[in-house]
Amino acid sequence: MRDCVWPRLALGLALLGAPGASATDYWDASVIKDNSAIETYNEMYHGVSQQHDLQANAGPVADEDWSFVMNAPYSSYEVIVDSASADVFEVELTRLDANGTTVIQQSEAANLGAAVATNRALRWLGPNIFYLNFLRVRSGGCITTCGPAAQYHIRFYDTTIAVPRFNNAGGQVTVLIVQNSTSWTRNIAGVARFWSASGTQLGFAVFPGGLAPKSALVLNTSTVPGLSGQSGTITIDHDGGYGGLAVKAVALEPATGFSFDSPGLYKPQ
């Protein structure tokens, strides 16, 4: 019995005295890593939430975490990097083109205008075609000295808003109301797009000058070219992030005084 106890005790003491285990995430531990646009298999899609690290690779070589996004037509998106350790501050979040070589957008503060803002975000309107983008995360702090504690969290959202009904036929007129509910230090750009029941785009309206914080756009949709006498659905693509806009469409029927409300809906998280 005593012969069995001592090896176990020695093993326990060795483990207690051993250095902390590496925090290397499984994207870096796999055979095909996420260190470049050529390598990454990490696809971002609505609702994706991941924990990563920027622990330096052998060399030492600074770690980079790459992922890709397939933009859908007439859609908008948001990426947020938060909960980053102080070692990597300020974390660098960038969006690149389909070749993974040209930077097309640098991140902004996730909480725009806050006195202290350590989290970063990308928010954009996608092109009107299916289009590939890459996302890159790098440390602006420890870089080649990043250790296991150099971690962060990344989240991805499709921010396109859907309104299930508008109607400018049969005596009804739909008014679209869009509010910028943020307290940001920039306006929110966006486009309201109007679709037939079969999915054909009937017309669109660009937010004039963008929506200022706490302001609202009130749009009589029957004045939009192509929408008189039409009915269908609405989508809104914008750079206001997930939940940044509050939307409602109200169909008014002057002859009866009835109104029909259709709220704008984000995809569930």
Q: Which two tokens stand for residue 33?
A: 């890593």
| Domain architecture of the chain: domains with CATH | 16-158 (2.60.120.380), 161-263 (2.60.60)
In Å, what is the CA distance from 109 to each residue of 63, 100, 121? 22, 23, 6
**Count of CB atoms within 10 A of residue 33's CB?**
19
Burial of residue 210 (CB within 10 Å: 0-12, 13-18, 19+) is middle
pLDDT of residue 11: 40
pLDDT band at residue 10, thresholds of 50, 70 and 90? very low
What global pTM score does this model have?
0.89
At residue 190, the pLDDT reads: 98
Cα–Cα distance list, 212 to 98, 108, 180, 215 (Å) = 32, 17, 7, 5
- Does the structure show a pLDDT above 90 at 115? no
**Residue 78: per-residue pLDDT:** 98
Q: To the nearest whole number, what is the mean pLDDT of the chain? A: 91
The number of beta carbons lying within 10 Å of the beta carbon of residue 89 is 14
Structure tokens at 204: 């669109």
Average pLDDT over residues 192-214: 97
- Do you know the residue count of the chain? 269
CA-CA distance, 233 to 153, in Å (whole number)?
A: 35
Please say if the pLDDT value at position 123 is more than 50. Answer: yes
**152 close to 84: Cβ distance less than 8 angstroms:** yes
Segment 13-28 shows an average pLDDT of 56
* Residue 243 neighbours by CB distance under 10 Å: 14
**Residue 63 and residue 57 in contact, taking contact as beta carbons nearer than 8 Å:** yes
What is the rounded CA–CA span in Å between residue 60 and residue 56?
Answer: 6
231-238 vs 190-195, strand pairing mode: antiparallel
pLDDT exceeds cutoff 80 at 204: yes
Asked whether the predicted pLDDT for residue 7 surpasses 60, the reply is no
Mean pLDDT of 12-27: 54
- Chain segment 25-81, per-residue pLDDT in tens: 888 888 999 999 999 999 999 999 999 999 999 999 999 999 999 999 999 999 999
243: closest CA among 182, 172, 177? 182
